[in-house]
Every structure is written in C-alpha cells, then in structure tokens.
Amino acid sequence: MPTINKSASIQTVITTFEVTPGTCQDLMDALEAAYGEFISKQPGFLAAGLHVNDAQTRIANYSQWQKREDFQAMLRTPEMRERTRAFNALCRSFEPVMYDVAATFD
C-alpha cells in the first residue's frame, strides 16, 4: 500500500492518462495486468494505486520506487516498452512525472 511520507527517501511517480469513457475500462484492465504480472515484480517497486475520475476521462496512477533508477530501468525493459505501446493505443495521452513529497497533512 502506498505511503505518503515527506521523510521517506523514495521516488514517487504520478502518471495521468487521458481516456474516453469507452476506453477507460480497457486501459484499467491493461494497467492492472501490467502491475499484477510485471511491474510489481521489478526491482525497487514499493507500491502503487490506480484512480479513475467520475466521468471516466482520466486515470491517475501513483507509484513508489526505491530509487529513480529502478523506475527508469523498468521502463526500458522490452516487456514494458510493449505494454507502453498498448497503453498509448488506449488513450489520448499519458505523462509519467517524478515527484518528491514536499509536505503531508493528516
């Protein structure tokens, strides 16, 4: 389970996907399969969550990695490159962005 903590020295990646209501579930299925079958088994993976807006026009993916390099290495694998092409076919656009936790509130 993802933990948001300013003092943790981990890499956070937030990816937003722009989809249509007609492709939203297809992309969710593909993302769930990718995490279950491949991403969660990669070195440095800690946790992730998938979020869908009410209109089913956006999917947000929050993932945590031990190091930036772990995430980048996963992206470069032949399997992930193939999966990324499939994700791209199911959405208008997507953008993974690396973040550091700046503040947290309870």
How far apart, in whole angstroms, are the C-alpha atoms of residue 92 and residue 71?
23
Q: Dihedral through CA 28, CA 55, CA 93, CA 16, nearest 10?
A: -70
How large is the average pLDDT for residues 48-54?
97
Determine the pLDDT at residue 3: 73
Residue 93: partners with Cβ closer than 8 Å, 6 or more residues away: 17, 18
What are the structural domains of the chain?
A: 11-99 (3.30.70.100)
The model's confidence at residue 104, banded by pLDDT at 50, 70 and 90, is confident
Q: Judge contact between 48 and 61, C-beta under 8 A.
A: yes
Determine the pLDDT at residue 1: 72
How large is the average pLDDT for residues 83-96?
96
The model's confidence at residue 25, banded by pLDDT at 50, 70 and 90, is very high
Query: Taking the model in full, what pTM does it have?
Result: 0.91
Say if residue 73's pLDDT is above 80: yes
Determine the pLDDT at residue 9: 84
CA separation, residue 28 to residues 9, 23, 59 (Å)? 29, 9, 8
The model's confidence at residue 46, banded by pLDDT at 50, 70 and 90, is very high
Eight-state DSSP code of residue 88: H
